[in-house]
Structures are given as C-alpha cells and as structure tokens.
Structure 1
Amino acid sequence: DNEPAQYDWENEDNLQKLGSNEFLGHGITEWKLRTMLNSGSMLGKGCQAAMKLAHRGPEMEKNAYILGGHLALLWQLYLDIKDFFTHPYSYSLVGAPTTIALWEYPQIYGHIWESKVEKTPIEFKQLYYAVRSTRSMDYLLKFLDDELEAVLTYSSKFPEGDAITALQKMALSVHGETLEYVEK
C-alpha cells in the first residue's frame, strides 16, 4: 500500500506539535496542514477554550475544536478560491487550487521552475490556465462540500440555539459564495 499518509488533524493531540513534513507535496493533505498551522488550530482552540470555560466537558471541548478547525478550512478554501479566480495574475502559489493541481499534475510545476531558472517573473496567467485544465476544481468542490458537511455535522452535536444556527448559516453562506467564484 503506497498511499500517502493523510493528515488527521481531528485526532491529533492539539496540545503537542502539529503536523509533519511528511505531508508536504501531497495536495489536499499538505494544504490542510498549512491551514491548520496558519489559523485553523487557533480557531479550533478558541472554540475548545469556550467549551472549557463553560465547563462542558472533554467531549464537547473536542467537538468544538473540530468544529472550529472545519470552519477554518472552509473559510480558507473560500479565500484561496476567491483569490485564484479574481486575481489570475497574482494569486497564491500555495493556495488550494494550485497546491492541489501541482499534486495531481507535477508537470505544471514547470511553469514555476522555468521562471526560477531564467530569473523571470512567473507567468501567472499561463499557470492559471494550466491549473484550470486539471481536475483540481473537481477535487476542490468535493473538498468544499466535505468541509460544509463536517461543519454541519459537528455543529449539530451542540444544543440548538441562536449561536449554532448562526454558525450553520455562516457556513452555508461561505459555501455558496465560494461556488459562485468557481462557476463564473
């Protein structure tokens, strides 16, 4: 079984060092690690701390951490996809669309490597079309749907109320707006 390891942040001890270099170069797995290290862990731990302060118990604390992490992943997908589609001349090379496309089609890296070797600016528009020609958008849309489902699943583990309803509406709104960028 040569399947690459998956970054299982939901079951990681979030009080210890997060992630590992073994996930670099593995598309969605690398992107999840980057997002959790950048902001996801902080949002997750903030949600976890709220449950701890409310004395809700370890299970609710863990569910809050996971909910916060999925909210962060959903939000970062939105930001990366918006950036990619609204700035085809200057998007992030480690954003979800590019990271996933490079994972599936490493030859796309040639667009970046050529610029590095020749010491010329990256032709972002050419790279943009190369990324768009891959199945990365299909993977992104499935990933986006999976993250929305995770937010709805984990938010349903909390008592009903205005706060949970607001989180669910926010997640649905972010999901919908992200789809609009992809479909334009």
Structure 2
Amino acid sequence: MNMEKVYCYICSKVVELMSSAVRDLSESEFIGLRDSQNNPLPSPPKKEKDEYSFQFSDDPLEPVRIEDALGNAQAEWTLRNILEAGSLLGKSCQGTLKLAGHSSDLQEQAYRFGRHIALAWQACLERQPFISGSAGPFSLVSAPVLFTLEYNHGLYAEIEKGYHNINDVDFDEIRRIVLEGPGLELTKKLQSEHSDMSFEFLRKLPDTEARNAILNILAAME
C-alpha cells in the first residue's frame, strides 16, 4: 500500500510538471506583438544593445517574466522557443526520469538537456531560409532576423509593413539585409552553444544506441 501511495504521488508530480508545459505553450501565444493575422512580430529593438542577462529558472514550475526579455535578440528568441517547444521537451525528459526513479539532480539535468537540444534544433532550422538559392517567406522572429535587427534598427521599418498584411513585407529585402549582417553567424554560434550543452549531458550517460543516435543527430546539425 505504501508503494502504491508513493507511485501515485510521483505520478501526480509528473502530471503537475506536464501541466506547466501546457501553460508555457499557451503563454508563448502572448509574447510581444502580433500582426492582424496573428503572426508573431519582433519587439522593437532596444536603443542601446545590452548584455544578455535574461535567465530561466531551473525550477520548471516557476512562471516566466516575459517583459524582462523583450527587445533583446537572444533573450526574446530564447523565451519564445523555450515556451513553444523547449519547455515541453525538457519537462518530458525530466518526467521520464522521475517516473524511472532517478535522482533529483539527474532529473534537473535532463530538463536542461531537453531545453538545450530543442533550442539547438530550432536555431538549425532557422538558418535554412538563408542558404544560397532560398526564396519565399520565413519567420520574422527567427534568430537571424532578431540578431540582425539588434545591429540594424532600420530593418524594423521593413518588418512593420507586415502589421496589417504579411504580404506587404519584402522578404527578399529582409533576407538580403540579414545575409549582409551578423545575424547568421550569431545564430550559428547560438546553435553551437546549445549543442555543446546537450553533448555535455549525453556524455554522462551510458554508451547505448539511444544515446549515440542523439549524438549523431546533434553532429548532423553542425
């Protein structure tokens, strides 16, 4: 009976954890500005570039202070993508280890691992619209755009054209500006940072096929 109570308690904690991931996903829809068609738009860049100091709490149940991140390229991008995907993956990893009876320390590391691998993957995807020969629209809150916007505030005028209709945005012009600026290189650096943090956790795990498969995925993204 005692074991049954313990199991029920653990399950309730996992349900609470995953419920907070759903909360995060819902909150991601209310970050910053959106156009009339509900597409996300970046926040106006801060007049002076400040250092990236926004940090997520290691407590997965603690809500995020959204306003602290807006206007800072890396902070805003991290906020959006952790709430949209990183939180769910991180808490899924944490919940799995909790159900398996692993230590609290390993559970917390798994949570951070899930967040980092989600962010590395997202940064990798967001570089693709800027490879040679690419055409068509892309996310205006992607890392390459946000990083470029931080260094070239004039780009925001082009982005604002899409407030009423996304078709009014000249994506080819924005792509050209991004390619001429530091956005892509900074996005690649961001991806590498999150990949390295994911590698760090994986190296602590036993040598298994599952571990090696994830290592191969991370290596393929570089």
- 1:138-149 matched pairs, under 5 angstroms: 138-149=185-196
Question: What is the TM-score when the length of structure 2 is the normalising length?
Answer: 0.70
Cα distance, 1:120–1:74 mapped onto 2, change above 3 Å: closer
- The equivalent residue for 1:180 is none
Residue 107 (1) aligns with residue 154 (2)? yes
Query: Secondary structure at the residue paired with 1:66?
Result: helix
CA distance in 1, matches of 2:209, 2:155: 46
Deviation at 1:90, TM superposition (A): 0.5
| Partner residue of 2:99 out of 38, 53, 65 | 53
Task: Note if contact 1:19-1:33 (Cα within 8 Å) is conserved in structure 2.
Answer: no
CA RMSD of aligned residues (A): 2.3
- The equivalent residue for 2:37 is none
Task: Note if contact 2:90-2:111 (Cα within 8 Å) is conserved in structure 1.
Answer: yes
Task: Note if contact 2:91-2:114 (Cα within 8 Å) is conserved in structure 1.
Answer: yes
More helix by share: 1
CA distance in 2, matches of 1:4, 1:155: 29
Structure 1 portions without partners, runs of 5+: 176-184
CA distance in 2, matches of 1:26, 1:72: 20
Residue 91 (1) aligns with residue 138 (2)? yes
Bigger Cα Rg: 2
Using the aligned pairs only, state the percent identity: 25
Cα distance, 1:118–1:159 mapped onto 2, change above 3 Å: closer
Task: Note if contact 2:58-2:108 (Cα within 8 Å) is conserved in structure 1.
Answer: no
| Partner residue of 2:85 out of 20, 39, 55 | 39
CA distance in 1, matches of 2:94, 2:185: 32
Question: What is the TM-score when the length of structure 1 is the normalising length?
Answer: 0.84
Deviates further, 146-155 or 59-68: 146-155
Number of matched pairs = 173
Deviates further, 164-173 or 65-74: 164-173
Per-residue CA shift, 1:68-112, capped at 9, x if unaligned? 111100111122122444753301101111111112221111212
